[in-house]
Chains A and B, each alone.
Chain A
Amino acid sequence: MNPVYIAGAGMTRFGRSEWPLIQLASVASMAALKHASLGDIPVDGVVVANMGAARVNKQTALGSALVDQLALYPAMAEAVENGPASGASAFKVGCQAISSGMADVVLVTGVERMRVVNGLEGTDFVASLSQPEVEYIYGVTLPSLAGMFTRLLMDKYGIERKHLAMVAIKNHFNATRNPYAHIQQTVTMEGILTAPEAIVNNPPIAEPLHMFDCCPVSDGAASVVLVSESIARKLKAPKVLVAGIGQATDTHAVQEREDPTDLKAVRLASEKAFGMAGLKPSDVDVAELHDAFTILEIAESEAAGFFPRGEGHKALERGETALDGKLPINPSGGLKAKGHPVGATGVAHLVELAWQLRGEAEGRQIQNAKVGYACNFGGFGNNVVATVLKREAE
């Protein structure tokens, strides 16, 4: 397999946007292309990640639409829809195009504009990824699957609501250091859990999960420029290697999982990604996890191999996953505070890691970060893409 490098990364601020869908995608793409400083090297391919545009924005064929906006013809182009894992899936498709020799430069852009619809419609569009006959039909939504999963883990490992709150507090703090984050406001244990008014500030969403355990609904776009080794050599920029990608699937319905407390697809995808990279979880300096719900950051940190099962919340409590900890998790603010424009999320993970590995993450920079890991969690864990990036010496 030919090596693939990330030459540039850019994004829009996440939040509520008045821009049309394709403008969001264009702005992030132009930032990434500028960051890559390609000069007159042409873009051979464009891959757009998106989940809901056909339904909520009434627009399809986003690859063609983005090529046209950026005047990148005759580049090959397509869109990838893989639920909440669309972003890292599109990234994988872009890497495959380069590693196979079909392309030298590929632009991968994830985008979602989901705040145009009301809450019920937005929740329903995401819920449409669940099993239609045995889950969706009963009113299952993503928060409900997360709520039922949380109760299982709390009972099994002694996780308490305070641990879930610690994820939110950490990620909200990190987001105050990230100008691209949707919510740039700190929260406190008193405000969301222990004070008498906490129940008003932080109402239940899917018991035992409350509002501050759930990511906000965001619009936004994120973009990376992938290049082959020959192009990477011509560019002056730091070399961020796509060291490993792993993907794994599991049963569509959560009820069918052999062990419903095990994020098996995260485990298998991560093992594949680390295997391909020739690296171990202990080599990772910075990680971006898919904390659509606070419990997922804890559970994924174990399934990815950073902590033994049932120990993730203890590492969190010891501060090991904070910005100044042994393994900073979600320095960007995570989905929890940076926001979760569904199709953009998996690409935004890799944007943050690329910036971290290039030393460009400013107020949230992890010192000497050389290896980064990302987990893009699709479905409720039935389709997961794990990625390992590595900064190469000049």
Chain B
Amino acid sequence: MSTQVHAPVTAAKCAKCGTVNYPKRPVCKTCRGEVFEEIAVSGEGKVLTYTDVYALAIDYETRYLRLAIVELDDGLRVTGQLLDEMPKVGKRVKTTIGIVREPGDKPILGLQFVPI
């Protein structure tokens, strides 16, 4: 039986200054605050940049991966896999969760982007 593992798709919102820290860190990058509220990383946004990468790491059997950095509407930027046959900078997308890496028999679930 395979067990699924989740990539961390939550961020740490600083209780003092409101900065969303993603990746999470114990000290806020803006004000050095140490108290946070955990928030989900999801929503709609636009493609900031993307690539089709053929130089892959281990755990992949595909020929290439389409990766993107997406700027969500609240300003947070996130990296993930872009599931779009017609990718374009500026295009509107929304986040979804899917398998992003498969080391052995433990698929990892993480952020993917699909066109709206």
Interface residues, chain A, with chain B CB atoms under 8 Å away: 119-121, 123-124, 127, 131, 133-144, 147-149, 151-152, 155, 203-209, 214, 251-256, 260
**8 shortest A-B CB distances, which residue pairs?**
A147-B51, A144-B53, A124-B57, A143-B55, A255-B77, A206-B53, A148-B49, A124-B58
B79 touches A134 (CB 8 A): yes
User: Given the complex of chains A and B, what is the CA–CA distance between A120 and B67 in angstroms?
Assistant: 17
Sorting the interface of chain B by its residue count into under 10, 10 to 19, 20 to 34 or 35 or more gives: 20 to 34
Residues of A within 8 A of B80 (CB): 138
Interface of B is mostly: strand
Highest count of chain A CB atoms <10 Å: which of B29, B56, B77, B81: B56
Distance between B80 CB and nearest chain A CB, rounded to angstroms: 6
In the bound complex, how far is the Cα of B12 from the Cα of A133, in angstroms?
13
- Assess whether B79 is in contact with A255, with CB atoms less than 8 Å apart: yes
Across-interface contacts of B59 in A (CB, < 8 A): 139
The contact sample of 17 A-B pairs, CB cut-off 8 A, is A120-B56, A123-B57, A133-B7, A134-B7, A137-B108, A139-B81, A139-B101, A141-B53, A144-B55, A147-B52, A147-B53, A152-B49, A204-B52, A206-B53, A207-B51, A254-B79, A260-B49
Contact indicator per residue, chain B 72-90, by CB within 8 Å of chain A (1) or not (0): 0000011111000000010
Given contacts A151-B50, A255-B78, A256-B29, contact A137 B101 (CB under 8 A): yes
Closest A residue by C-beta to B7: A137
The distance in angstroms between the C-alpha atoms of A206 and B100, with both chains bound, is 18
Cβ–Cβ contact A120 & B79, under 8 A? no
Query: Are A252 and B23 interface neighbours, CB within 8 A?
Result: yes
A207 lies within 8 A of B81 (CB): no
Q: From residue B110, how far is it (CB to closest CB) to chain A in Å?
A: 6
Output the nearest chain B residue to A208 by Cβ-Cβ distance: B51
| A123 CB contacts on chain B under 8 angstroms | 55-57
A149 to B48, CA, bound (A): 10
